[in-house]
């Protein structure tokens, strides 16, 4: 069985960093991916999908330090669904991507540029990976 996700998208917000009770860093941010297709009438259609990203340990601190809203990144991880009871006793559920690898896909000088001039495929100097053993659950 395989539970592996590969996403390339833009951050919807700056990563929020917090620490668990035991001091383990965890960061959360949203990532937007786009899908484009031509419908039956020949019209071009576009859909944006939003993904909730969770990052643990040292990679969480790195994401918090270097990533900002709008930044193009590659995320590798796994899908996880969590359930809990809210304050009113209602069952709540969320699906998120637990990231184990992140690559920045544009240099700092590329940020803010748009259109065909942006070098979105240019890699920034950092590729960080952690194993599933580093994730505290």
Q: What is the pLDDT of residue 106?
A: 80
Distance CA 64, CA 72 (A): 14
pLDDT at 13: 95
Residues of the chain with pLDDT under 50: 114-131, 134-137
* Alpha-carbon distances, residue 86 vs 18, 26, 54, 80, 89 (angstroms): 20, 21, 20, 19, 5
Please name the helix (run of DSSP H) or strand (run of DSSP E) that holds residue 85, with its range, or none: strand 72-85
Q: What would the two tokens of residue 101 be?
A: 């690898």
Q: Are 15 and 55 in contact (CB under 8 A)?
A: yes
CATH architecture observed for domain 5-36+44-134: Beta Barrel (2.40)
């Amino acid at each position: 069985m395989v539970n592996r996700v590969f996403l390339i998208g833009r951050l919807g917000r700056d990563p929020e960093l917090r620490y668990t009770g035991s001091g383990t860093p965890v960061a959360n941010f949203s990532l937007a991916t786009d899908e484009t297709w031509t419908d039956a009438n020949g019209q071009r259609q576009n859909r944006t999908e939003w993904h909730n990203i969770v990052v643990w340990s040292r990679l969480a601190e790195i994401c918090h330090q270097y990533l900002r809203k709008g930044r193009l990144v590659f995320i590798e991880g796994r899908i996880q669904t969590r359930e809990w009871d809210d304050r009113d006793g209602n069952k709540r559920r969320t699906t998120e991507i637990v990231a184990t690898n992140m690559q920045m896909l544009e240099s700092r000088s590329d940020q803010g540029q748009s259109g065909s001039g942006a070098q979105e495929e240019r890699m920034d100097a950092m590729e960080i990976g952690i194993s599933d053993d580093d994730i505290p659950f």
